Amino acid sequence: MQQIDLVRHGPVAGPAALYGWTDVALQQSAPACLDWLNKQNYQQVLSSPLQRCRHSAAAQAQRLQLLLVVEPDFKEMNFGRWDGVPFDEQSPDWPLQQDFWQRPFAITPPAGGSLTEFQQRVLQAFERHSQYQSGRALWLLHGGVIRLLLAHLLHIDLRHSHWLQQLSIGYGSVSRISRYNEQSPWQVHCIAAPGFSFSQQDF
């Protein structure tokens, strides 16, 4: 059996904003919401290159004596001029940002990347790294990346749903997927579950 835990990074050290390619640090070097990982056993650890994911992933790889796999295409969406800028309802960009929330495929952030481009690179990275191998893998990722992966596995048409706007992926949460063998379809066992609610025997 192949199992992958899609885990979102911990809280970041910054005001409320769109943190895409901005390499913002974690609030704490060892986020409490990820403490549950210290009781788990994995055969692979993979991460986005951004430090809010990579820092925690590197700690787990070191604990498990594994080589950390870093995948650049698992970076969050590029929000361009809005990236890392605190939300401000008085900003001239605010109306366009509101339109983006409602119609994310129709609006591209100024000097940023489109949602279509984001989706394509994330799914291509998933195909590269999800080739069948027995065992358990930990992937430390961003909320947007996890939403795209789950929508893909559940065959959700993002252009005709509110999946991106309404699905909350909490800090330190786990979305678990698995398949029995290479011919089996992926199964989604849980979505954005609080990791601390799981014990070793739940796996």
Q: pTM for the full model?
A: 0.95
- According to the model, what pLDDT value does residue 130 have? 96
- According to the model, what pLDDT value does residue 196 have? 65
- According to the model, what pLDDT value does residue 201 have? 42
Q: Is 164 exposed, middle or buried (0-12, 13-18, 19+ CB in 10 A)?
A: middle
**CATH code at position 66:** 3.40.50.1240
Q: Which amino acid is at 128?
A: R
Mean pLDDT of 105-120: 97
Residue 137 and residue 130: Cα distance in Å, rounded? 10
State the total domains in the chain: 1
Say if residue 150's pLDDT is above 80. yes
Name residue 70's beta-bridge partners.
Answer: 47
- According to the model, what pLDDT value does residue 203 have? 42
176: tokens are 């678990």
Mean pLDDT of 74-98: 97
Say if residue 162's pLDDT is above 80. yes
Q: Show the domain range for 117.
A: 2-202
Residue 134 and residue 49: Cα distance in Å, rounded? 25
CB 115 within 8 A of CB 45: no
Please provide the DSSP assignment of 7-32 as one string.
Answer: EE---BSSSSBB-SS--PPBSSSS-G
Per residue in 89-103, pLDDT (tens digit) is: 999 999 999 999 999
- According to the model, what pLDDT value does residue 32 have? 95
CB 7 within 8 A of CB 18: no
Q: What is the CA radius of gyration of the chain?
A: 17
Residue 160: how many other CB atoms lie within 10 Å: 8
